[in-house]
Every structure is written in structure tokens, then in C-alpha cells.
Amino acid sequence: MSLPYYDDLLNGSMVFNFKLSWLLGLTMSYGLMNYFAGLGCSYLLCFSYITVILMMNLISFSMTYSLINQWLAVDGVSMLMEVLVMLVLIMSLISSSKDFIMSATENMKSGVEAAVSLVSLVCLYFFIMGGWMDFFFFFELSLIPTFWLILKWGYQPERLQAGIFMMMYTVSASLPLLIVLISMWGLMGTDSFLLVKLVGAKIFCQASWMWIVMLLGFLVKLPIYFFHGWLPKAHVEAPLSGSMILAGVLLKLGGYGVLRFIWLAEIFMGKMVLCVMVLGMWGGFLSSVLCMVQSDLKSLIAYSSVGHMGMCLGSIMTMYGMGKLSGVCILFSHGLCSPCLFALASSTYDWSNSRSVVLSKGVLRVFPIFSMFWFFFCVVNMGVPPSLSFFSEVYSVCSLLWLSFAVCFPAGLMCFMAGCYCLYLYAAVNHGCGSNMLKPCKLISERYLYSMLFPSFSLVLGCSCMDFFFI
């Protein structure tokens, strides 16, 4: 833990210069992508690689919680989440380049790229806020462009219901959090994470119900089972870019909030912690079981996200260092894998004009290269070596086993069910013959391949540099 000396000022100027260059490069890529889709996608792919290299260099300056200025503060976890936001943004823009071209040439509803960029910009500032009132402001502000994205560019008439579900779930759980944060601000005289941590935060977390209220807003955003009703609806009704941002970035706001407030309030292991952990673990197992009976591709992938976030919450709530490291790695690996699965589901929809698991079959016979990506991301999602998902799940199960075998048992069942539904997903989509009820097209845009190429290398080769991900 360090105070803002000259090295922190240097760090702040580097972050500002990097963000400025990143926005300029992204603006240039919009023009390229609108007129030359392949060239723009290639440019964005190269730029994503440069982004990761620069951000990994910045992480070496932020291994402790450091103040950039009176508003911003960074550490290793926040910088890793910044990298994730940028990568998912680039992936979503590449995958949705067809939508941009159609909106520009056919006078359709334009502006989807602005909504996606606005969500990402809000999340970028959320991860580096140094005060909890600004932290909460950007946490809630992310709902507005997401609701706009679902409501304006959704595919089905039920998109209004999905948006209202998302708003009601998250806002209702965030109101108690706001009350607690305001009371903490009045009690401590400041909302700075670092200052309150230095003074000592135990004076306002003696009652277990208080930090349960604090974490409730993040548990709904994560989400855990019993608070997940808004997630499948939002995924099914959102456009492709909205689903990718929702799965890759917005769910991570809840995980990051849990990490930050456990660190701030110094929450200790107790009966309430065990109750929340058991709820998350068994809820993740139930959501994994529900994946086996889903008929919609996007709904299946959405329920798998609930299972992975349950595993992440369980490992974080063990209060072990290894549990926290594995939880952060699960957040990052899931943030890359799940958007790619949504992109694959969208490519299958472009080919078969259906998202039904029963009707969308035979991808292996028609598009072998897409079948290869289906296989790769399905096995990464279930956690096979040497992917980042494998190491994160192994360390997560180890931390749970150190705590108790009773909480490790649902984690093992969850890993088993993850393998079951991933194999079911791959076999159902790629094998067999297409239905005669469909009129499939003969081509799929190569933009999906551009978006999935770099994340696949990151997920596989990340095991060679795990110091960057186990923070």
C-alpha cells in the first residue's frame, strides 16, 4: 500500500497518455471498419495485441493499491479488469461490424457502436475509482447505456420486459447499498478507499447484516442463483455486441465490487459468509443443471455464466489468498471465453436463422473452421489444461477444499456438470444434419474469426505468464 508520490503521478500520466492514444486508434478503426471490414478487423486485432502489451507494462507499476490523483486509484486487479474491458470492447466491435455497415447503408437504427463504447467507457472509470461514492455512481451509470442497447437494438418484442427486469433487479438491490455507503461517508468523513483502509474499517462492519447489505447489490450484478432472473432474459433480447459486453464486462462489476469491499471492510469468516458461499456454490450447480435443458443457445450460455460466477464467489469468500487469486483469474478467463461463445452462437444464427439447439445442427459439415472454434471454446469453458480456466478452477477447488469438504463437494459437481453441458453444446450444434424446416445461408462473415483469434491465444498461452492473471 503506497501513497501518491512522484511515481504515482508518473503512473497517472502514463495511464492518461495511453487512454488518449487508445481512443485515437479506436476512432481511426471505425472509419476503416465502415469501408473496409477486413482491413478494419485486422487493424483492431493488431491493436488489441498492442493494448495488452502496454497494459501489462502498466501493471508492473500498480502491484500495490496506489493513488493516481484524488479521484483515481489502481492496483493489479483493477488494471487487469481494464485490460479485459478493452479486449471485450474490441471483440464486440469486430463481431458487430456487419451491423455498423448495414446501419450506415440501409438507414437502419444506427448508433450501436456509440452505446457499446459508452458502456465500456463507464466500466473503465468504474474499475479505477478511488472513492466509493464515485464507485457507486459509475456502477449504476452502466445500467443506462445497457438498457438503451437492449431496448433499441434488441431482436424481439420482449426486449422491453428484459430491460425492465434488469433495471428492477439491480436498482432494487443497490438502494440498500447506497444507504450504507452514505452512512459510512458520514461516519468516516471521507469516501476514499485508501484513507478508510489506513484508518481502520472495522468500526462500521461489526454487524454482519450491514456487510450483507453492502454485498447484496454486487451479488445481484454478479449474479448468483436466486438473483439471476434478469440475466437470461437480457442475453436473449440483447444484440450480439450487447451480449458480449454484458457477459464479458458487466458481470465483472459485481465480482470486482465483492473483492473491493471485502478488502475494505476486512470481512472475516463466519456463519453469514458460509451461508452466502453455500448459496452461491449450490446455485451454480443448479444453473449448470439447467443448462442441460435449455433450447436456446444464448440462454444456455447465459446460465453457464451463472455457474462460473458462483464458483468465483465461492473461491473469493474462502478468505484465502489462493481463493482470491483464483477468483480474479476466473473473472478474466470467463470474460474472454463467454463473449466468444456468444459470437459463435450469433454466427450459427446467421447461418441457420435459428438459435434453437434442436434445429441448429451440422456446422461441422458445412463450416469446419467454425466447428474448430466451437470445440476450442467449449473445452476452454469446461476447463481443460493448459488454459487459464483450468488453473483458475483447480486453485479455486483447492481453496474450497482447505476450508471444508462440504463446500468443495458442490464445486466438484459444478465442474462435472460444466463438462456435461459443454460437450452437449458442441455435439448438438456441430454434429448431425440440419433441419429441413430451415433455409440456411451459404456463407458466414469472417469477422467472427477475427474477434475470436486473439482471445484463443490469450486463454491458452496465458498459463506461461500467470503472474499477470493471478493477482
Domain boundaries in the chain?
329-471
Whether 24 has a pLDDT exceeding 60, the answer reads no
A 10 A CB-CB count for 65 gives 19
Split at pLDDT 50, 70, 90, the class of 110 is: low
- For the chain, what percent of residues have pLDDT higher than 70? 79
In angstroms, the CA 313 to CA 323 distance is 9
Whether 353 has a pLDDT exceeding 70, the answer reads yes
Q: pLDDT tens digits for 361-409?
A: 777 777 888 888 999 999 999 988 888 899 999 999 999 988 888 888 8
Average pLDDT over residues 317-323: 87
In angstroms, the CA 425 to CA 297 distance is 8
Whether 97 has a pLDDT exceeding 70, the answer reads no
Which pLDDT belongs to residue 263?
84
Range of weakest confidence among 26-30, 49-53, 64-68: 26-30
Q: pLDDT tens digits for 135-159?
A: 999 999 998 888 888 888 877 778 8
- The pTM score is 0.86
Find the DSSP H helices in 96-131: 97-105, 112-126
Split at pLDDT 50, 70, 90, the class of 53 is: low
What is the torsion angle, in degrees rounded to the nearest 10, for the CA atoms of residue 216, residue 220, residue 222 and residue 227? 120
